[in-house]
Structure 1
Amino acid sequence: MKKEIRYQTAEIAPKVYAVNECGLSTMYLIAGSRRALLIDAGVGILPVREIIAELTPLPCDLVLTHAHQDHMGAAYMFSRVYLHEKDWPLLNYINRENLELFTKEIGEKGAFEAYGFGVKDIDFHPCPSTLLPIHEGQKFDLGGRTVEVLEVPGHTPGSCCFLESASHILFSGDACNTNLLLFFGCSVQEAWKGLEHLKAIRTKLSSYPADLANLQNFSGHAGYGTGKQITALPKRTLDDCIMACRLALDGRKEYRKKELLPRHGIVETVTYGTVKISFKDTENKLLPR
C-alpha cells in the first residue's frame, strides 16, 4: 500500500496555486491560457508532476528562485529549467546528505508528525544537466499573463524574485522573508543593495493601479514548519529587511547577537520589526548614518 504523505494546496489567486511540501518549502504554479510556470520545485518528496496535472493540463516550465536543495528537488522532472547563472556553481553542493540534514532539521521540529513523512521518503536525483539562464526584466509569457524576473542577490548571488502583476503577487523565494539568511556567497552589503533594488521596483509600481502598489509577497516557505496557513508575508517585511541590513552595517554592536544554527555554525543576527537576518560577514562596508 502506497504511503500517504500529507501536503497543502491553496489557490491564492485565480489559477495561481501554492503547494506547501510537508512544511519544508513552498512551490507556486501559475497557469495562463497557453502555458504554465512552476516557481521552485520543493525537496523531492511529492509527486510534483502529478500535482501539476491535477491543477492544469497546460505544458509547464520550471523556474528556480535560487539553487538550494529545498527549492529544486523535483527539477529533474522538467525538460526546461531556468536558473540565474550566478547560482549555477551552487549546484555542486547539492547532494543527498545535505538534503537529508535539512529535512531532518525541519522534520524534528514537528513536520514529520504533522505531514506524515520521513527522510526516507526523499526521492533524490542529481541536478538537471540542462539549464537555461534568466536575467533582470526577462518575461515568461503564459498567455494572458506574464511573469517578470527581478534580480535580488543576497540570500545567494543569483537569487531572483518573480512578479506576476495580474494577480498582484511577488514570489520572493528566500530573498525577502522574515528569516533572511545571508551567508551563502553574499555580504550584507550586497543583500542591502538587492533589497533596495526590489523596493525601487515596488515604488515604481505605485504609478500603476492602486492595488498593484500593495503587492502580496509570498515566500518560498509559506506554511513553513508545522504551520498550517499558506499566507503572504507582512506588508512591512521588505522595509524591515532593509532596516535590519542597515543596522548590521552600522557598526554598533548593540544591535547584534550571536546564535548557533544547525548546519551553519555560529552566526550573527540582527532583528528589526518582523524580520531577523543572520550573517557571518558584513565586509566592514558601513553605511552612512
Structure 2
Amino acid sequence: MKYFTSKKLNEHLTLITTITAENLFLVEGSNKAILIDTSEGAGDLKGFVEKLTSKPIEVILTHGHIDHAMGAVAFEKVYMNPADKAVYEAMSDIPQRQEYIEMSVPKEKQAAVKQLALLNADGGAEKFLPLKDGQRFDLDGTTLEVYSLAGHTPGMMVVLLVEDRILIAGDAANTATFLFDDYCASVSDYQNNLQKLAKRLAGRYDKVYLSHHELEAPKDLLQRVSSVCQDVLDGKADNQRFDFMGKTAWIAKEVGPGFIRKDGGFGNIIYNKDNI
C-alpha cells in the first residue's frame, strides 16, 4: 500500500497526494525546498519527500487541521499562523486522527490503514515558527507569499507562487469549504475576508490549486465562493444536510458525489445555521 504518490506539475512544483486524498505541494528553489502541508502524520512523509529533493526542507502549514498539520512534527523547521494553535491542539489526539483516516480511505484499504502508526503531534505547535500575513519565502528564483484568509479556521492561509502565478487556496475556498465547527468564522465575516483578498491579489495569479477533490479551480474561485455566501445571507441557499464526525451542517448549494454542484456551478460552503 502506497500512502503517498507524486506528480510533477512543473519544473519546481510537485503534487503529493495521500491515500486519504489530500493534495500537498512541494516547491523547490535552487537553495531549499518548501513543503506545503503534511497530512495526518501517518506514513513516512519526511522520507518520501527526501526522495524527491536533496535540498533542505521547510514546511508551511496552511492551517492546523488533522489532514494538513499533524505530520509536521517530523520536520525541523515549520511555520504556522499562531491563530491556529488552539485548532491544532484540539485535533492532535491520536483516536480522532485515526477515525478521520479510516473514514477517508476506500473500504478495501481500511484494514491496512488501521495498522499505521501515527506520529505523536502533542505539543507540536509550541515548536512552530509564526507564519504571518504577507510573509515572503525566497527560494532563489522561486518566491512564495503567504496571505491570511480566515474562515475555515482563524489562522487559515493561502500561498501565492509569485513567478508561476499560481494561488494555492487549499481549504480556504474550495468545492466544499467547511465553515461549521467551533473555530470557523461566520458566513458574513468569511465573505468579507474573501472579498478583501480577491481585491488584494487581483491580477496576480492565473491558476488556483486546491487541497481536496479537484486539483484545479476556476481563476475566479474567491468571487464564486463569495457569491455562494451571499445566497446564504439572502436566504437563497439549497441547504442540503451534511453530517460529519458527529456534527450536522448545511451545504449551501446542493451537490452530488464528489461535492459536484448539481447546478453546474463551482465553489461551495458547508455552514452552521447558527453562525451566519
Band the TM-score falls in, shorter-chain normalisation: 0.7 to 0.9
1:118 and 2:116 are equivalent in the alignment: no
The equivalent position to 2:170 in structure 1, one of 163, 169, 173, is 173
Q: Partner of 2:211 in structure 1?
A: 220
Within a 5 Å distance, the mapping from 1:113-152 to structure 2 comes to 113=108, 117-127=112-122, 128=124, 129-152=126-149
Alpha-carbon distance between aligned partners in 1 of 2:215 and 2:268, rounded to the nearest angstrom: 19
Q: Partner of 1:208 in structure 2?
A: none
Going from structure 1 to structure 2, the CA distance change for 1:7 and 1:113 (only over 3 Å counts) comes to farther
Going from structure 1 to structure 2, the CA distance change for 1:236 and 1:259 (only over 3 Å counts) comes to same
The equivalent position to 2:161 in structure 1, one of 139, 161, 164, is 164
SS in 2 for 1:194: helix
Deviation track 1:215-238 (CA, whole Å, cap 9, x = no partner) reads x211122xx4xxxxx731233432
Within a 5 Å distance, the mapping from 1:1-289 to structure 2 comes to 4-94=1-91, 95-107=93-105, 110=106, 112-113=107-108, 117-127=112-122, 128=124, 129-184=126-181, 185=183, 186-205=185-204, 212=205, 214=206, 216-221=207-212, 224=213, 231-250=215-234, 252=235, 254-271=236-253, 273-281=265-273, 283-284=275-276
Deviation track 1:62-115 (CA, whole Å, cap 9, x = no partner) reads 1100000111221111122111111111122121121122112212xx2x5379
Alpha-carbon distance between aligned partners in 1 of 2:198 and 2:109, rounded to the nearest angstrom: 36
Contact 1:43 1:122 in 2 (8 A): no
Q: Which moved more, 1:186-195 or 1:62-71?
A: 186-195
SS in 1 for 2:55: coil
Going from structure 1 to structure 2, the CA distance change for 1:116 and 1:7 (only over 3 Å counts) comes to farther
Letter in 2 for 1:198: L
Of the two structures, which has the highest relative contact order with CA contacts closer than 8 Å and spacing of 6 or more?
1
Runs of 5+ in structure 1 lacking a partner? Answer: 206-211, 225-229, 285-289
Alpha-carbon distance between aligned partners in 2 of 1:132 and 1:267, rounded to the nearest angstrom: 33
Contact 1:8 1:21 in 2 (8 A): yes
Q: Which moved more, 1:32-41 or 1:50-59?
A: 50-59
Alpha-carbon distance between aligned partners in 2 of 1:37 and 1:191, rounded to the nearest angstrom: 28
Alpha-carbon distance between aligned partners in 2 of 1:264 and 1:156, rounded to the nearest angstrom: 18
Letter in 1 for 2:86: P
Q: Which moved more, 1:270-279 or 1:69-78?
A: 270-279
Deviation track 1:133-182 (CA, whole Å, cap 9, x = no partner) reads 11111101111111101100110011000001222221112101111111
Deviation track 1:246-270 (CA, whole Å, cap 9, x = no partner) reads 11112x2x42414131214221221
Q: CA RMSD in A?
A: 2.1
Alpha-carbon distance between aligned partners in 2 of 1:188 and 1:283, rounded to the nearest angstrom: 7
Going from structure 1 to structure 2, the CA distance change for 1:231 and 1:268 (only over 3 Å counts) comes to closer
Alpha-carbon distance between aligned partners in 1 of 2:23 and 2:111, rounded to the nearest angstrom: 17
Give the TM-score normalised by the residue count of structure 2. Answer: 0.87
Give the TM-score normalised by the residue count of structure 1. Answer: 0.83
Going from structure 1 to structure 2, the CA distance change for 1:245 and 1:25 (only over 3 Å counts) comes to same
Please state how far the C-alpha of 1:275 moved relative to its aligned partner.
2.2
Going from structure 1 to structure 2, the CA distance change for 1:237 and 1:204 (only over 3 Å counts) comes to closer
Contact 2:94 2:118 in 1 (8 A): no
Going from structure 1 to structure 2, the CA distance change for 1:70 and 1:236 (only over 3 Å counts) comes to same
Letter in 2 for 1:266: T
Letter in 2 for 1:126: A
Equivalent pairs: percent with the same residue? 24
Runs of 5+ in structure 2 lacking a partner? Answer: 254-260
Alpha-carbon distance between aligned partners in 2 of 1:116 and 1:145, rounded to the nearest angstrom: 41
SS in 2 for 1:191: helix
SS in 2 for 1:120: coil
Alpha-carbon distance between aligned partners in 2 of 1:63 and 1:158, rounded to the nearest angstrom: 12
